[in-house]
Amino acid sequence: MMAGFDDVLTDRRLSRRLVEQHLAGSLHEPGLLLDEYVCLTSGGSSGLRGVFVQTLGEYTDFVASLVRRGYARALAAGGPPPEGLMLGQVTAASPVHSSGFASAVATGPPVRMIPAPATLPLVEIVARLNAAQPPALLGYASKLAELARDQLAGRLAIAPRSVPLGSSSDGPGLRPAHSGPYERYSCRPARRPPASGRAAP
């Protein structure tokens, strides 16, 4: 698809070259291409770099699909807090990745992302999560395994009600490290992420 990217675009104002220029200028601050399009890049689970273009409304639908269960639980419990449903994220730092873009733009009601980028030292990630106390935590499986060990050691002290995996495989070597903290969090291990690299619901 990347080889024929320009051929599948339905908005003829767009091109691979224009999207790549936008991505290169958006490594640290999010922005919309042509004031309309969210442009993202990811290697997904394949490791092959892909470029993705969607309207802001389409991206909002995608994020809503990830938080719908948590939001439904909050509504059933009387409604989310005034500052919005909080979700901790141990994922990408740059807004050219979907998780980094979400952290940069979802800063208030109805959903508030609390970023603790996976590229930070583990001690700083732990400090951010301890300070925020997110009721849900989304992260790369490899980082969740490290956080699980810190939770067992007493350095991390959070109690999220859900811990979905995002964008990386939870191979056999990681599963045992998850089991204890998942039990302490009183939630079931999340399903494997789909092949697209998007987070599991």
Q: Where are the domains of the chain?
A: 78-185
80-103: buried (b, 16+ CB within 10 Å) or exposed (e) per residue? Answer: beeebbbbbbbbbbbbbbbbbbbb
Q: What is the pLDDT of residues 11-22, one digit of tens each?
A: 999 999 999 999
Q: What is the pTM of this model?
A: 0.73
* Each residue's pLDDT expressed in tens, for the chain with a length of 201 residues: 888 899 999 999 999 999 999 999 999 999 999 999 999 998 766 777 889 999 999 998 988 887 787 788 888 888 878 888 888 999 999 999 988 998 888 888 888 889 999 999 999 999 999 999 998 898 888 899 899 999 999 999 999 888 877 655 545 444 444 444 444 443 344 444 444 444 333
Q: What is the pLDDT of residues 9-59, one digit of tens each?
A: 999 999 999 999 999 999 999 999 999 999 999 876 677 788 999 999 999
* Rounded distance between C-alpha atoms, residue 91 and residue 6, angstroms: 29
Residues 6+ apart with CB under 8 A from 166: 91, 99, 138, 139, 140, 193, 198, 199, 200
Which CATH class for the 78-185 domain? alpha beta
50-55/111-115 β-pairing: unpaired
CA 10 to chain centre: 27
Average pLDDT, the chain: 81
- Dihedral pair phi/psi, residue 90, rounded to 5°: -115, 80
